[in-house]
Every structure is written in C-alpha cells, then in structure tokens.
C-alpha cells in the first residue's frame, strides 16, 4: 500500500505548480499511470480523497490516464502488448526488444476553474 505516499507526492507537485490562493479552483489533476507502474488506481484515488478532504484542494479530483504496456521488437520492427509484462517477441520469440510505454507515473495536467471577476 504505497499509494498513500504516491498521493502525497502528487499533492506536493500540485502545490508547487499552482499559486496557493488558486488551490481551491483546482478541479482535476491528470495523471498518467502505466499498466506496469505497480500502482492500484482505486487505492490511489481513495488516498487522494483522504489527503484532500478539508484542505484547499477539497474539490480536486484525480483523473487517471491508463497507458498500455507496449513493447517493440527490434528485428521484427513490430510492437506488441502483453498484459502480464512479457517482453519476448510473440512473432520471433526474440529478446531484442524495447519497452515503449507502460511504466509511466507522472502528473501531466492540472485543470482550474476560472475565478470569475467580481462585478463592479
């Protein structure tokens, strides 16, 4: 259960990226999570909610983009996916392969609601 410490790291990044007085306007934090990043999305969302309750970020929701595990076989020039995490090429059986995606764990976007100008 390391999702709580990961959620804390996400909040640290949000606080560094958005001026303090604008934190209540944050609605969505978009996160890329690779299928093999070793993170359970439900636990992460739960941890995020726990850590933001009764804070200026209480209206912020976590939006998770799932990134599939994709591997490229160098000799075949073809890419393939595998839900377990096998990296051997299913066509030639070779091990000369490169992981293209699926290990991501990064914050990519923070969405804020516009603070309406006070009518004078």
Does 31 contact another protein by CB under 8 A?
yes
Of 7-15, 50-58, 60-68, 72-80, the segment contacting another protein by CB under 8 A is 7-15
Diameter of the chain measured on Cα atoms: 71
Closer of 27 and 78 to another protein (Cβ): 27
Tell me the DSSP string of 2-24.
-HHHHHHHHHHHHHHHS-GGGGG
Return the closest-CA partner of residue 36 out of 100, 89, 119: 100
H or E segment and range at residue 105: strand 105-112
Hey, what's the torsion of the CAs at 36, 40, 45, 46, to 10 degrees?
Answer: -160
Does 68 contact another protein by CB under 8 A?
no
Measured CA to CA, the distance from residue 27 to residue 71 in angstroms comes to: 34
Does 65 contact another protein by CB under 8 A?
no
Does 51 contact another protein by CB under 8 A?
no
Q: Which of 20, 84, 118, 120 is close enough to bind another protein by CB under 8 A?
A: 84
Does 111 contact another protein by CB under 8 A?
yes
Does 72 contact another protein by CB under 8 A?
no
In the complex, the residues that contact another protein under the rule CB under 8 A are 1-2, 5-6, 9-10, 12-13, 17-18, 27, 31, 36-39, 84-88, 95, 105-114
């Amino acid at each position: 259960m390391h999702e709580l410490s990961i959620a804390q790291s996400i909040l640290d990044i949000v606080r560094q990226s958005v001026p303090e007085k604008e934190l209540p306007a944050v609605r969505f934090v978009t996160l890329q999570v690779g299928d093999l990043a070793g993170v359970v999305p439900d636990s992460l969302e739960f941890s995020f909610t726990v850590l933001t309750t009764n804070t200026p970020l209480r209206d912020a929701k976590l939006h998770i983009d799932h990134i599939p595990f994709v591997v490229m076989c160098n000799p075949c020039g073809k890419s393939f996916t595998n839900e377990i995490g096998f990296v051997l090429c299913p066509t030639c059986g070779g091990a000369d392969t490169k992981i293209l995606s699926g290990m991501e764990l990064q914050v990519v976007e923070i969405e804020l609601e516009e603070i309406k100008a006070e009518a004078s």
